[in-house]
């Protein structure tokens, strides 16, 4: 009897020491673009937001199926047409130990609306944030806003006390010669704590054991440490994944998928993304800047625009350029966005003869020249898509001169309306069509560089923002899409497919917004001896 007790005790002790000696789960990953800052309200950009949202929590989040779920707000409802009430989660603490209260929410909304914040666009309908009690907040909007919760998913909640202590009540201002504390430091309520941030070189996050969500559906992951190192060159990034120096790559090139699949230790996850890739054509000006046609604007003629759409073979692009990883589109927004229908999205087939006939009808049988602006480091194979387009348009007489540049030079061109013909991709974080119309179709839309201006479209866009009756609202949206399709201002290409490459023993659901949610990530199987972090 004694022997059994001793043996069992020894076995248990052994097991205890073994699990204590078990290596911690470190996730090393890479992508092309680092977060621009740790300040959650300074730059509204994909990688920056997904990094902030691992350290902070928003009020409302999306789950793996892209439905809204409670985060720091446990419930929300409309109390009067212009006021939303949010009930907050109790017992939550920031990483520095201070408690989370309604004051922090009010402070965050004000910060996100301040002059130097890049997040004003999400909440410009909100005029005031009111604290009702320690765990209740009212957000007051100018007009009724039925989709306010969906607009809050990208807004990280910051600690008021921490911000005041480190003098970062406002997001960084360019005039500051000193970098603000918030660029490299963060204090959120989220699943991971920012341990080290070396911009462009390395970012390290550690598990926050006190996070409220680990045992809820929002959590479930077992990662102890995240080490992120950006790698600009796609080949070097792939080499690092193949050689085992990193565990996860966010932006795998379509042509490298085969190579990863051939590796016994790796796998590829894919999902259609809510991001449509399309061309914008200048229709507003009387003459194109870069064309040899003087006195008139070929793109202003709808037949020319339709000819362009007919000449571009999106199936061939999918087959050859994207290696099958895209889905040809008929409108400039993707499945999963409220207001999208498959009927609208039917992509036209390539029709060179029809295109040539239209060109002839419009009086451009001899063709014309035009310059195409393209980014070369933002969307999957963006430069190659543009190059293929040059070839295709050449067949109907349009001689395209391609100018492909980094996104930081390309996007300002669009925002300054300094382009005749450009490639753009548009994601929809709010998953509602209004976001698309507001930015791309409204005559004053800040990303509408086509010069398209229609009073009817403007009216529809404005109305759908404030219409509470969901049936009426859907009708408005449908009408707007019909108008958009009839006008054919943009030439849709395809919806992107996200490709993630990772080690087989890692488990993390892929999401349609291309943001890695490490709170779900699990490393399964025997944790190997801590590999040398590179």
Q: Could you say which residues in the range 332-371 bind other proteins, by CB under 8 A?
A: 371
Smaller CB distance to other proteins: residue 401 or 524? 401
Smaller CB distance to other proteins: residue 53 or 388? 388
Q: Which two tokens stand for residue 80?
A: 């009067």
Residues 198-257 that bind other proteins (CB under 8 A): 198-201, 229, 231-236, 238-240, 242-245, 253, 255-256
Min dist. Cβ of residue 446 to other proteins (A): 7
Min dist. Cβ of residue 33 to other proteins (A): 11
Task: Name the nearest CA neighbour of 89 among 72, 114, 65.
Answer: 72
Alpha-carbon distances, residue 265 vs 28, 227, 273, 318 (angstroms): 15, 20, 25, 28
Q: How far apart are CA 91 and CA 27, in angstroms?
A: 29
- Reported in sequence order, the residue ranges of 282-367 that DSSP labels E, i.e. its strands, are 326-328
Which residues, in sequence order, are CB contacts of 78 under 8 Å at separation 6+? 84, 85
Smaller CB distance to other proteins: residue 32 or 222? 32
Min dist. Cβ of residue 522 to other proteins (A): 24
Q: How far apart are CA 475 and CA 465, in angstroms?
A: 13
Residues 508-527 that bind other proteins (CB under 8 A): none
Q: Which listed range, 54-62, 143-151, 196-204, 212-220, lies at the site for other proteins (CB under 8 A)?
A: 196-204
Q: Which listed range, 47-55, 92-100, 151-159, 167-175, lies at the site for other proteins (CB under 8 A)?
A: 167-175
Q: How far apart are CA 40 and CA 50, in angstroms?
A: 10
Q: Is residue 140 a contact partner of residue 106, using CB atoms and an 8 Å limit?
A: no
Smaller CB distance to other proteins: residue 341 or 406? 406
Total residues interacting with other proteins, rule: CB under 8 A? 73
Q: How far apart are CA 165 and CA 242, in angstroms?
A: 45
Does 294 sit near other proteins (CB under 8 A)?
no
Min dist. Cβ of residue 302 to other proteins (A): 24
Among 22, 133, 258, 469, indicate the residue that binds other proteins (CB under 8 A).
Answer: 258
Min dist. Cβ of residue 97 to other proteins (A): 27
Smaller CB distance to other proteins: residue 16 or 23? 23
Q: Which listed range, 102-110, 174-182, 292-300, 463-471, lies at the site for other proteins (CB under 8 A)?
A: 174-182
Q: Is residue 266 a contact partner of residue 272, using CB atoms and an 8 Å limit?
A: no
Min dist. Cβ of residue 388 to other proteins (A): 5
Task: Name the nearest CA neighbour of 514 among 382, 380, 331.
Answer: 380
CA dihedral 148, 152, 153, 155 (to 10 degrees): 170
Min dist. Cβ of residue 238 to other proteins (A): 5
Smaller CB distance to other proteins: residue 403 or 467? 403
Smaller CB distance to other proteins: residue 427 or 501? 501
In the block, residue with structure tokens 């019909």 = 482
Q: Is residue 271 a contact partner of residue 510, using CB atoms and an 8 Å limit?
A: yes
Task: Name the nearest CA neighbour of 490 among 434, 450, 435, 432.
Answer: 450
Smaller CB distance to other proteins: residue 136 or 387? 387
Q: Is residue 227 a contact partner of residue 204, using CB atoms and an 8 Å limit?
A: yes
Smaller CB distance to other proteins: residue 105 or 288? 288
Min dist. Cβ of residue 141 to other proteins (A): 20
Q: Which two tokens stand for residue 246?
A: 């990193």
Among 289, 346, 444, 504, indicate the residue that binds other proteins (CB under 8 A).
Answer: 289
Alpha-carbon distances, residue 17 vs 8, 9, 11, 13, 24 (angstroms): 14, 12, 10, 6, 14
Residues 130-159 that bind other proteins (CB under 8 A): none
Min dist. Cβ of residue 396 to other proteins (A): 9
Among 114, 271, 290, 443, indicate the residue that binds other proteins (CB under 8 A).
Answer: 290
Among 129, 137, 183, 424, indicate the residue that binds other proteins (CB under 8 A).
Answer: 183
Residues 360-419 that bind other proteins (CB under 8 A): 371, 376, 383-384, 387-388, 390-395, 399-404, 406, 408-409, 412-413, 415-416, 418
Does 177 sit near other proteins (CB under 8 A)?
yes
CA atoms within 13 A on the CB side of 156: 28
Task: Name the nearest CA neighbour of 268 among 278, 277, 257.
Answer: 257
Residues 12-41 that bind other proteins (CB under 8 A): 36-37
Smaller CB distance to other proteins: residue 3 or 177? 177
- Please give the distance of CA 262 from its chain centroid, rounded to a whole number: 29
Residues 464-493 that bind other proteins (CB under 8 A): none
DSSP string over 353-380: HHHHHHHHHHT-TT-EEEEEEEESSSST
Q: Is residue 328 a contact partner of residue 347, using CB atoms and an 8 Å limit?
A: yes
Min dist. Cβ of residue 166 to other proteins (A): 16
Question: 126: part of which helix (H) or strand (E)?
Answer: strand 126-133
Min dist. Cβ of residue 339 to other proteins (A): 26
Q: How far apart are CA 505 and CA 264, in angstroms?
A: 11
Task: Name the nearest CA neighbour of 379 among 6, 33, 26.
Answer: 33
Residues 89-118 that bind other proteins (CB under 8 A): 118
Smaller CB distance to other proteins: residue 210 or 357? 357
Smaller CB distance to other proteins: residue 167 or 399? 399
Residues 420-459 that bind other proteins (CB under 8 A): 446
- Please give the distance of CA 339 from its chain centroid, rounded to a whole number: 19
Smaller CB distance to other proteins: residue 34 or 345? 34
Smaller CB distance to other proteins: residue 138 or 410? 410
Min dist. Cβ of residue 335 to other proteins (A): 26
Q: How far apart are CA 470 and CA 475, in angstroms?
A: 9
């Amino acid at each position: 009897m004694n022997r059994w007790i001793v043996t069992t005790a020894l076995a248990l002790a052994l097991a205890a020491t073994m699990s204590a000696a078990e290596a911690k789960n470190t996730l090393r990953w890479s992508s092309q673009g680092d977060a621009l800052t740790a300040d959650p309200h300074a730059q509204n950009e994909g990688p920056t937001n997904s990094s902030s949202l691992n350290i902070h929590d928003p009020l409302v989040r999306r789950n793996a199926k892209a439905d809204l779920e409670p985060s720091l707000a446990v419930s929300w409802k409309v109390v009067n047409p212009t006021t939303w009430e949010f009930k907050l989660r109790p017992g939550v603490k920031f990483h520095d130990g201070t408690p989370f209260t309604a004051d922090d929410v009010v402070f965050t909304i004000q910060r996100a609306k301040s002059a130097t914040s890049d997040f004003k666009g999400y909440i410009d309908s909100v005029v005031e944030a009111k604290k009702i009690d320690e765990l209740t907040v009212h957000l007051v909007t100018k007009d009724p806003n039925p989709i306010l919760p969906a607009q809050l998913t990208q807004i990280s909640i910051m600690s008021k006390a921490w911000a005041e202590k480190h003098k970062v009540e406002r997001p960084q201002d360019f005039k500051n010669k000193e970098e603000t504390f918030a660029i490299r430091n963060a204090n959120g309520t989220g699943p991971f704590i920012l341990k080290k941030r070396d911009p462009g070189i390395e970012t390290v996050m550690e598990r926050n054991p006190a996070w409220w969500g680990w045992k809820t559906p929002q959590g479930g992951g077992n990662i102890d440490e995240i080490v992120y190192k950006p790698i600009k060159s796609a080949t070097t990034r792939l080499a690092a994944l193949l050689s085992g120096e990193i565990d996860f790559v966010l932006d795998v090139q379509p042509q490298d998928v085969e190579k990863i699949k051939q590796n016994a230790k790796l796998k590829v996850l894919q999902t259609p993304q809510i991001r449509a890739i399309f061309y914008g054509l200048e229709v507003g000006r009387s003459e194109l800047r870069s064309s040899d046609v003087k006195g008139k604007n070929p793109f202003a003629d709808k037949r020319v625009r339709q000819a362009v759409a007919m000449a571009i073979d999106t199936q061939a692009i999918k087959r050859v350029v994207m290696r099958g990883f895209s889905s040809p589109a008929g409108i400039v927004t993707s499945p999963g966005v409220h207001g999208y229908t498959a009927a609208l999205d039917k992509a036209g087939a390539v029709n060179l003869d029809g295109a040539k006939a239209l060109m002839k009808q419009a009086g451009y049988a001899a063709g014309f020249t035009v310059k195409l602006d393209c980014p070369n480091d933002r969307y999957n194979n963006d430069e190659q898509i543009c190059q293929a387009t040059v070839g295709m348009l050449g067949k109907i007489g349009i001689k395209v001169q391609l100018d492909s540049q980094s996104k930081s030079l390309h996007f300002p061109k669009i925002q300054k309306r300094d382009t005749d013909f450009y490639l753009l991709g548009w994601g929809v974080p709010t998953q509602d069509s209004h976001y698309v119309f507001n930015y791309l179709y409204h005559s004053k839309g800040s990303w509408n560089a086509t010069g398209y201006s229609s009073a009817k479209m403007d009216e529809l866009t404005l109305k759908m923002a404030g219409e509470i009756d969901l049936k009426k609202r859907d009708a408005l949206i449908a009408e707007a899409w019909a108008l958009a399709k009839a006008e054919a201002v943009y030439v849709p290409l395809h919806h992107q497919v996200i490709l993630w490459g990772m080690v087989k023993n890692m488990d993390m659901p892929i999401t349609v917004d291309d943001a890695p949610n490490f709170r779900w990530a699990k490393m399964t199987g025997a944790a190997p001896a801590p590999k040398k972090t590179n």
